[in-house]
Amino acid sequence: MTLFFASDLHGSLPATERVLEQFKRSGAETLLLLGDVLNHGPRNPVPEGYNPPLVAEKLNELADSIIAVRGNCDSEVDQMLLAFPMMTDYSWIILESGQRVFLTHGHLYHADKMPPLKRGDVLAHGHTHIPTAQWQESVIVFNPGSVTFPRGGFKPTYGLLKDGVLQVVSFDEEVIAEASLIR
């Protein structure tokens, strides 16, 4: 099973097109959107190619492949444009190994405020725009970074779960961070 993670698109059409192109090339079955899909929010500048209606249209073409959670910049008005649900604060995925992946944006649950997780679970979130993939005590903390507004000096990135390894990858295919599901 291959999963593709993206976060913090913030309504940027060029960033969304980049993500969708890479998603299709990756062979992943599911695109996991970790919030802040359409709106740029009051603390961010208007991103390049800001076009929430067209971003929604592009994402809706893959609605049956998307699992999404709500970010702090997402609203009910955004949901009205999208053909897939994205208003939940978190969701779970159970991997073939039995490990659980807790999907959230990161403004409610994050490395410093963990949800109830078991040993070996994964906390996948966005929000900080800073990529990470690392074991923290008995769980993995994973953040695919941001395509639209990368922070911390990082390049635009996305995430993959493939062959039991979580990776944060730049669009020039550099692995920025990775963590094996087995410790």
What is the pLDDT, as a whole number, of residue 53? 98
Tens of pLDDT, residue by residue over 43-61, are 889 999 999 999 999 999 9
Using the predicted structure, report yes or no on whether residue 42 has a pLDDT greater than 90: no
Structural domain harbouring 170? 3-180
Calculate Rg over the CA atoms of the chain.
15
Sheet holding 100-104, edge to edge: 90-94, 100-104, 122-124, 139-143, 132-136
What is the pLDDT, as a whole number, of residue 52? 98
Tens of pLDDT, residue by residue over 133-163, are 999 999 999 999 999 999 999 999 999 999 9
What is the pLDDT, as a whole number, of residue 66? 98
What is the pLDDT, as a whole number, of residue 83? 98
Query: 8 in helix, strand or coil?
Result: coil
Tens of pLDDT, residue by residue over 57-107, are 999 999 999 999 999 999 999 999 999 999 999 999 999 999 999 999 999
The answer to whether residues 82 and 71 touch, using CB atoms and an 8 Å cutoff, is no
The helix (H) or strand (E) run that includes residue 5 is: strand 3-6
Binned at pLDDT 50, 70 and 90, residue 35 comes out as very high
Domain total of the chain: 1
What is the pLDDT, as a whole number, of residue 41? 86
Q: The domain spanning residue 169 has which CATH number? A: 3.60.21.10
- CA distances to 27, 54, 142, 173 from 36, rounded to whole Å, are 24, 15, 17, 24
